[in-house]
Amino acid sequence: MSVKVFQTQEVQDLLKAASNVEAKNGNARFQQIVLRLLGDLFKAIDDLDITPDEVWTGINYLNKLGQDGEAALLAAGLGLEKYLDIRMDAEDKAIGADGGTPRTIEGPLYVAGAKVHDGLVKIDINPDEDAGPLVIHGTVKGADGKPVAGAIVECWHANSKGFYSHFDPTGAQSDFNLRGAVKTGTDGKYEFRTLMPVGYGCPPHGSTQKLLNVLGRHGNRPAHVHFFVSGDGHRKLTTQFNIEGDPLIWDDFAYATREELIPPVVDKTGGASLGLKADAYKDIEFNFTLTPL
C-alpha cells in the first residue's frame, strides 16, 4: 500500500518542530539545513515508499559506518567530495579565480604535522621491497608564472600495497612514512624522493565497501599522490596527480582524476648519486600554479 503524508499539516509541523526552525535559540543556519535535509528525507520516504525496515537498515548502517571510521571515505565514494570540487570550480570560474593547477579531492587520509624541510626531502622511511624509487619535483609558480618563494608543499601517498601510514591495517609503516613537507626557496622549487605508490582499495569488510557492493561498484583508486600547496598571498591548493598508465585511471571510485593531473612518468638513471635505493628510478616533474587570494 502506498500512502502519501508528506504534505499534511501534521508532517510539516513535525519537521518545523524537529529542526526548531522558528525559534530564536539554536543556530539559524543549522536549523535551516536540518529542516531541509530532514524534509528531503521525509519526502523520499513518502515518494519511494521506503519501508520501516529499510529506514532502520539505513540507521544501523550509519552506526556501523561511524564505528568503522569511514564516513569521510563514503563521502568520497558517493561523489559528495567531488561534488564540492565541482561547486568550487564553478565559483572560481564565476569570479575569474580559475586558471591555476586544478584542484581535486583531499580524501580521508591526510595527517597534519609532517616536519617541513627546505626544498627537498626523502619521505620513504620504511623499506618496501615491491616499490621502486620515485622522484617528484617541480616549481611552485604564481598566476604571473613567477616562482613562489616560501611556499609549503605537502605530499602524502600509499606504499606498494596501497596502504597509507597511520591507516595501515598491517602495522607495517612508521608514522609519517611516505608523507612530507617542503618549503620552497627563491627558485620556487620542491622535491620529494620517495617510492612508487599503487592504488588504494577500500577496506574489503568495511561499511563503505559493503554499500558499494550493493550498488554493484568497486572501491578502488588508481595510483596517485596527494598535495597541499600554500603560499603567502595565494589560495591553498588541494590536489593530486595520478600515475600515468594505471588501468583504473578513469575508473576511480572517488572520481578524482582530471586530464591536467596525469603527468608523464620518465625513466631515469643516476639514482644512486641521489641516495635512492636503485640507480634506475622514475621521475615526475609537476609544476604547481597558485592563484591569488
Q: Per CB under 6 A, does 73 bind ligand MBD?
A: yes
Under 8 Å between Cβ of 217 and 276: no
**CA neighbor of 155 nearest in space, from 201, 117, 128:** 117
Counting contacts by CB under 5 A, is residue 219 touching Fe ion?
no
Q: Is 142 in the site for ligand MBD (CB under 6 A)?
A: no
CB of 175 to ligand MBD, least distance (A): 17
- The minimum distance between CB 101 and Fe ion, in angstroms, equals 17
Q: From CA 194, how far away is CA 241, in angstroms rounded?
A: 15
Q: Out of 105, 131, 195, 223, name the contact with ligand MBD by CB under 6 A.
A: 105
Does 65 bind ligand MBD (CB under 6 A)? Our answer is no
Could you say whether residue 100 binds Fe ion (CB under 5 A)? no
| Closer residue to ligand MBD in complex, CB, 156/281 | 156
C-alpha cell at 57: 537498515
Cell 564516513 sits on residue = 71
Q: Does 263 bind Fe ion (CB under 5 A)?
A: no
Report the nearest approach of ligand MBD to the CB of residue 254 (Å).
4
Residue 34 has phi, psi (to 5 degrees) of -65, -40
Quote the least distance from Cβ 201 to ligand MBD, whole Å: 9
Distance CA 147, CA 151 (A): 9
Selected from 107, 133, 142, 206, the binder of ligand MBD by CB under 6 A is: 107
User: Within 180-219, which residues bind ligand MBD (CB under 6 A)?
Assistant: 200
| Cα 238 off chain centre by | 8
Q: What is the DSSP string of 223-267?
A: SEEEEEEE-TTBPPEEEEEE-TT-TTTT--TT----GGG-PPPEE
Residues 56/45, Cβ–Cβ less than 8 Å: no
Q: Fill in the DSSP letter of residue 186.
A: T
C-alpha cell at 226: 596527494
Instruction: Please tell me whether residue 222 binds ligand MBD under the rule CB under 6 A.
Output: no
Give 182 or 256: the residue with its C-beta nearer to ligand MBD. 256
Question: Phi, psi (5° rounding) for residue 162?
Answer: 85, 15
* Interaction of residue 109 with ligand MBD, rule CB under 6 A: yes
All three cell numbers of 107: 580524501
Minimum distance, C-beta of residue 212 to ligand MBD, in the bound complex (Å): 12
With contacts defined by CB under 6 A, how many residues of the chain interact with ligand MBD? 10
Which position among 77, 100, 107, 231 is part of the footprint of Fe ion (CB under 5 A)?
107
Q: Is 254 in the site for ligand MBD (CB under 6 A)?
A: yes
Residue 262 found at the interface with ligand MBD (CB under 6 A): no
Q: Rounded to whole angstroms, what are the CA distances from 165 to 130, 147, 161, 209, 259?
A: 16, 31, 11, 20, 28
Q: Where along the sequence are the contacts to Fe ion (CB under 5 A)?
A: 107
Interaction site with ligand MBD (CB under 6 A): 73, 76, 105, 107-109, 200, 221, 254, 256
